[in-house]
Amino acid sequence: MKKIFFVLGILILGASGLSAQFKSASLQAAGLTCAMCTKAINNAVEELSFVKKVDVDIKSSTFIIDFKEGANVDVDALKKAVEEAGFSVAKLKLKGNFDKVAVKNDAHVEIGGKTFHFLNVKDQTLDGEKTLTVVDKNYVSAKEFKKFAATTKMECVQTGKAASCCKKEAAESNTRIYHVTLG
């Protein structure tokens, strides 16, 4: 019995140091032709409950999005807001503060209650401010997606949903899996 409590104590203490919080995003939109397009996306993104503010770089069609502190960031809601405004996501980068989050290539890591599958990365521990690039379908060009998809044999990369490949990481079937790389 003492061994069980000892192991549980180590797990609880060990897990308490592992954390990450996304603080901002850089979202590049495709299909913009004028200032009205930019305004439509800006308004749609600002309405999301976890968004604190949005700044726009019109020349690069990039939206710098600051998240509310402690907010549950929903990557798919960002994409949906852009699409509902009539456009698409060309690139999405998430910036966050990490505290001892171990990542390795082709592994699933839970961050903020969501599962992230790291592609094309070296084994490392993330500490401090880091940027993750979402490389799922419809978050990057088809050519770029194909390049990242070729780096794994796991079927979840094609669907964005947990599949038989994810069972070893204990992801429930059909759970959303976000495919990311560093940088």
Q: Is residue 73 part of a domain?
A: yes
Residue 142 has pLDDT above 50, yes or no: yes
Range in 16-20, 90-94, 104-108, 118-122 the model is least confident about: 16-20
Q: Is 168 helix (H, G, I), strand (E, B) or coil?
A: helix
Query: Is pLDDT above 60 for 16?
Result: no
User: Model pTM?
Assistant: 0.87
Q: What is the CATH number of the domain that holds 87?
A: 3.30.70.100
Domain with 116, as residue range(s), is 19-182
Residue 94 located in a structural domain: yes
Torsion of CA 111, 115, 120, 126, to 10 degrees: 10
Give me the number of domains the chain comprises: 1
29-42 residue pLDDT tens: 998 988 899 999 99
Spatial contact of 180 and 140, defined as CB atoms under 8 Å apart: no
Q: What is the mean pLDDT of residues 78-94?
A: 97
